[in-house]
């Protein structure tokens, strides 16, 4: 019994250390202090044009049908949550 407990705890410690957010993973990543600022190489007018294009696309995407579909989908998900938990 004690051997099984030691094996389970060892496996758990190993999984914690090698998980993406684990101790070993954090120590292996380089610091981000030496990262290059990419925006320094992009002209400001290019950034302004891209931001304007994104804002235009967002304004055109808004519509009452989109809102109605999102509300109906959300209502269906909320209504299905109770039976889904009951069946689980």
**Average pLDDT per consecutive 10 residues, the chain (88 residues; last block may be shorter):** 74 64 53 61 78 85 79 95 90
pTM (global) more than 0.75: no
**Are 39 and 47 a contacting pair, CB within 8 Å?**
yes
**Are 70 and 78 a contacting pair, CB within 8 Å?**
no
* pLDDT for 39: 65
* pLDDT for 56: 87
* pLDDT for 82: 92
């Amino acid at each position: 019994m004690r051997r099984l407990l030691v094996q389970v705890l060892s496996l758990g410690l190993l999984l914690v250390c090698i998980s993406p957010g684990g101790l070993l993973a954090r120590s292996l990543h380089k610091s981000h202090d030496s990262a290059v600022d990419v925006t320094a190489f992009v002209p400001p007018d290019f950034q302004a044009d891209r931001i304007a294009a994104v804002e235009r696309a967002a304004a055109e995407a808004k519509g009452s049908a989109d809102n109605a579909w999102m509300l109906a989908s959300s209502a269906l998900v909320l209504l299905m949550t109770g039976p889904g938990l009951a069946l689980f």
